[in-house]
Structure 1
Amino acid sequence: MVINEASLKRDGVQDFVSLRTTALIMTAYIIFILGFFLTTPVVTYEIWSGLFSNIAVKVFTFITLLCILVHTRIGLWQVLTDYVKNPKVRAILSFFLNLLGLAYVVTGLFILWGV
């Protein structure tokens, strides 16, 4: 079997691995945030601000935002190709929903890093 390494097309295995990897990272982030809320009796602005002033938390949060974007893009592609049969409508929906996902990440970037 010949494999074209220069192809830009994805395959099912890559999507499967990407979905599982992003899901694991998002789950780890949820467990981290839940652990923070369960171990902190009173969450004030100062405590919350102190948590997110740590560079590791900022990086972990940003990686999680990127994982949400990747997870959403793959999920949207799968759902839209399965349920929206008209190619033009599918392309328009895909464009706007992916743009919305990108706007979510950019907004998170501005909030997180105060750029």
Structure 2
Amino acid sequence: MVNRHVVGAHYGLRDWLVQRVTAVIMLAYTIGVLAFILLANGASFEAWQTLFACTWVKVVTTVTLFALLWHAWVGVRDIWMDYIKPVGLRLTMHVLTLLWLAGSLVYMVKVVWGV
């Protein structure tokens, strides 16, 4: 039996799948918003308010924004892992990225749900 030394965090297939699934979620949401814009000829502020007052729209928006944050985390984390070699600097960049994304999540909840 040959022992192989395998390096890396073994994120491959999971990250590939996360990137594809989150991209499809964001695409579907974008198509939905574009359809609303095109079909609601000159929608007023009140029309947008009415649309986003629906709980299901808030839920779909929250899921989409969460998908965006997860998509960003996987992509940026991979960039840091591939291109920043000093471990301390890479860890710092990971932490700063997580803090930024966590702050974005809090702000997203505040905006979408009016908390």
Q: Same fold (TM over 0.5)?
A: yes
Counterpart position of 1:78:
78
User: 1:92 offset after TM fit, Å?
Assistant: 1.0
| Partners of 1:103 and 1:45 in 2: CA distance | 27
Structure with max Cα Rg = 2
RMSD: 1.3
1:112 and 2:112 matched = yes
How much does 1:113 deviate?
Answer: 0.8
**1:44-103: per-residue Cα shift (whole Å, max 9, x none)?**
221111110111110000001110111111111110111111111111111112211121
What is the CA–CA distance in structure 2 between the aligned matches of 1:72 and 1:11, rounded to whole Å? Answer: 15
Q: 1:3 corresponds to which residue?
A: none
Change (3 A) 1:69 1:10: farther
1:42 corresponding residue in structure 2: 42
The equivalent of 2:56 in structure 1 is 56
Instruction: Provide the secondary structure at the position in 2 that maps to 1:41.
Output: coil
Count of residue pairs the alignment pairs up: 107
- Percentage of identical aligned residues: 33
Structure-1 separation of matches of 2:28 and 2:50: 20
Unaligned residue ranges in structure 2 (runs of 5+):
1-8
Give the TM-score normalised by structure 2.
0.87
> Runs of 4 or more off by more than 3 Å in structure 1?
none
TM-score normalised per structure 1: 0.87
Q: 1:36 to 1:10 in 2, by over 3 A?
A: farther
